[in-house]
Amino acid sequence: MHSLTPSSGISLKSVRRPAPFRLVPTRLVTQCAYRFDSANAPNAAANASAPAPAPPPSLTNYSGGVGRSRADWQSSCAILASKVVSQQQDTKTAGGADNLTAVNGHKTLDLVPIDNLPRPLTITDLSPAPMHGSDLRVAYQGVPGAYSEAAAGKAYPNCEAIPCDQFEVAFQAVELWIADRAVLPVENSLGGSIHRNYDLLLRHRLHIVGEVQLPVHHCLLALPGVRKEYLTRVISHPQALAQCELTLTKLGLNVAREAVDDTAGAAEFVAANNLRDTAAIASVRAADLYGMQILADGIQDDSSNVTRFVMLAREPIIPRTDRPFKTSIVFAHDKGTSVLFKVLSAFAFRNISLTKIESRPHRNCPIRLVDDANVGTAKHFEYMFYVDFEASMAEVRAQNALAEVQEFTSFLRVLGSYPMDMTPWCPSRGD
């Protein structure tokens, strides 16, 4: 082989390079135009030994192209397009059970039918309403028959209610994925706030995703056959005893009152220990569950007895503006309570209504010492403030209000922005 260098004496112009190999697309077009037709399979099999017919001259007389002119190329493409369209129409008309689609004469499977594609998520899917989420595991404090169980059933119908012996256990059940939600009381129209749960809201990192209000209907329960004259003791939750104090006096019951953890637990305790001298204050459902008789129905001092419960989850929901929302926050300031007026003015200026304000001692710094050269050393109590206001965090006015509150406080946390319970309310009645 000669070396192509100037000293070799061979002219570069005299070297002829071989023509590059080119794939002529007309051969593919010719094969597709005269493809194997499954409809003529029997005739094709019978004539398998016969020599193949010669292709039309218009397609074979080519020199480096499909035809001799542009018109030949356009006619070939038109023939192929008409063939494919006719095959697709035949496939749709036949509508075979296997849903096969023919492409250039070859049947292919449609692996992902367009009709079966998943529907995109919407904001409605991401922000469930209070009635959404059935078949969830919902933790509550108490035993079966407690008012908290009824609240869990109202918040999440058909849920799997998980009883917990303490409020903190219900919080931990959600944090440890034992339960999906927790429904816990935070305030009662007669007894006031449940301070324990407010402290736990700050200690744990769960989010309020909804609220539910439950009318409370108290009953005096005893074992079957026991009369009121034989009673020497009544047990129940401390708030239930306080809410029925006047009615118990009117019934002429000169009995001792003892507090237990929950109302349904009191009924269970009387039934399990066969205490014929003890009555319990609990719900109608507790009487059915533990085989108790109702000595007196609706013994609460005020028929407008409602308990507000909050629904807790590991993740917050996306706030919306298409329905009434409520937002709960907690804040504190390192200079005491003097900033409270400025915080409240941030909401009043934007016409945001407050539905609750609650103060709790600042456990990490309960007392603040103030030194004054003229007066001396003064001690002030430090507080955390819990505020509920009627606005969604999706509203600009709520965002601006919290931005202003953050300027006046040293600590601010949004506990949740959630739909308000707008179900019609009526005085408590028996089930």
The per-residue pLDDT for range 410-421, each reduced to its tens digit, is: 889 999 999 999
What tens digit of pLDDT does each residue of 250-276 get? 888 889 999 998 899 999 999 999 999
Return the pLDDT at 169.
Answer: 94
> In which band, very low, low, confident or very high, does the pLDDT at 337 lie, cut at 50, 70 and 90?
low
What tens digit of pLDDT does each residue of 369-416 get? 445 555 544 455 678 899 999 999 999 999 999 999 999 888 899 999
CATH number for 293:
3.40.190.10
**What values do phi and psi take at 145, rounded to 5?**
105, -5
> In which band, very low, low, confident or very high, does the pLDDT at 36 lie, cut at 50, 70 and 90?
very low
121 vs 162, residue with greater confidence: 162
Question: What whole-number distance in Å separates Cα of residue 373 and Cα of residue 351?
Answer: 42
- In the Cβ-directed half-sphere of 269, how many Cα atoms lie within 13 Å? 21
Is 36 tagged catalytic? Answer: no
- The answer to the question of residue 179 being in a domain is no
Return the pLDDT at 32.
Answer: 42
Give the end of a domain, one of 299, 332, 366.
299
Q: Are residues 402 and 350 in the same domain?
A: yes
Return the pLDDT at 113.
Answer: 53
Catalytic residue among 309, 325, 331, 347: 309
**What values do phi and psi take at 243, rounded to 5?**
-75, -15
Tell me the residue range of the domain where 239 lies.
Answer: 219-299
396 vs 29, residue with greater confidence: 396
Return the pLDDT at 381.
Answer: 63
Q: With pLDDT > 70 as the criterion, what percentage of the chain qualifies?
A: 62
Mean pLDDT, rounded, for 311-337: 89
- The answer to the question of residue 40 being in a domain is no
The angle at the Cα of 138, spanning 135 to 142, to the nearest 5 degrees, equals: 140
Is 309 tagged catalytic? Answer: yes
329 vs 77, residue with greater confidence: 329
Catalytic residue among 30, 247, 278, 307: 307
- The answer to the question of residue 18 being in a domain is no
Q: Are residues 335 and 409 in the same domain?
A: yes
